[in-house]
Amino acid sequence: MFRLAHISDIHLGPLPKVSLSELASKRITGYVNWHRNRGKHLFGTTLDTVTDSIEALGVDHVAITGDIVNLATRTEIDTARTWLETEFEPARTTLVPGNHDAYVPNALERVVRSWRPWMLSGAQHTGGDGASSPFPTMARRGPVALIGISTANATMPFMASGDLSRKQIRAAGGLLDEAGREGLFRVVLIHHPPIRGAAAWHKRLKGIGRFADMISEHGAELVLHGHTHLDTLYELEGRDGMVPVVGIASASQGLGGHKPPAGFNLFEIAGERGAWQLGHKRFHLGDDGQTMVENPLAVIGGPLSGKLEG
């Protein structure tokens, strides 16, 4: 059995000191939003509680679906690198970036240089240009192939949309086919939810139709995303059946906010091609704010039903 944990939307805090030159950009809107909203709930020891719980479970691999930082300043990117080095082994972690990791022009290139070991997870990049983006990526771990797709790009103020190019879709489709021929359980990692209506217009993914066509043509067994800070469960039609599309709350969300408290997904994968068994549990921050509470959604041998959770 292969055990995969999934976290997203870390939004490492507290926000470091930001220079006036750094604020002379879209960052000013994010800076204000942090102090008015995010900073009230995405702070404290919540993230440590999440990572400690994952470590205690002894999972085989961790998937991180973006938004590690807030404004993508140099200090934040360096701090995130230290956090990754402290908490996660690159060979047991696969990371894709989110829109906050590409908050302003040129930020994503710095992020790729700094976090590259966790993005590649020991894999050779395929389909990307290497320097600015290695995506899509594929890492093989036991019976599982983790295929990372980047939707991160700098946007205008008050926008948080993602972009998925035809070039990346073609390359990712090739990786899905390759992993399928090898009989691997294919997990696609993406930040923005590839589901129509799952995010507000200004936070949507451009290329949702292309992603759906890719899954329909090439197939996959599981899609993981972040971005909405919600616990969601959808389905997309795949080549060999319906494919679960699973989101998760922010890994730093404390109690008392309007979004669900911090959590992570745990997947247990067993079986073989044509007879996969997938178990899914969610762990959420308990009412004491110091422990994670298990909320089982399925058992090994039971399918994931496609629905939006409340």
| CA nearest to 140, candidates 174, 97, 168, 182 | 182
d(C-alpha 13, C-alpha 190), whole Å: 23
Check whether domain 2-296 has CATH 3.40.30.10, yes or no: no
Q: Give the burial class of 105: count Cβ atoms within 10 A of its Cβ; 0-12 exposed, 13-18 middle, 19 or more buried.
A: exposed
Residue-by-residue pLDDT tens, the chain, 310 positions: 999 999 999 998 655 555 555 544 555 555 445 445 555 455 568 999 999 999 999 999 999 999 999 988 888 999 999 999 999 999 999 999 999 999 888 889 999 999 999 999 977 666 665 556 899 999 999 999 999 999 999 887 888 899 999 999 999 999 999 999 999 999 999 999 999 999 999 999 999 999 999 999 999 999 999 999 999 999 999 998 999 999 999 999 988 888 899 999 999 999 998 899 999 999 999 999 999 999 865 433 334 433 334 3
- CA gap 96, 49 in Å, rounded: 22
Domain ranges of the chain: 2-296
- The answer to whether 220 and 211 are in contact (CB under 8 A) is no
Structure pTM? 0.88
CA–CA dist 126, 136 (Å, integer)? 6
pLDDT for position 103: 86
pLDDT at 256: 86
23 vs 30: CA distance, rounded Å: 9
At 303 the pLDDT is: 40
The H helix count followed by the E strand count for the chain is 8, 14
Under DSSP, is residue 210 helix (H, G, I), strand (E, B) or coil?
A: helix
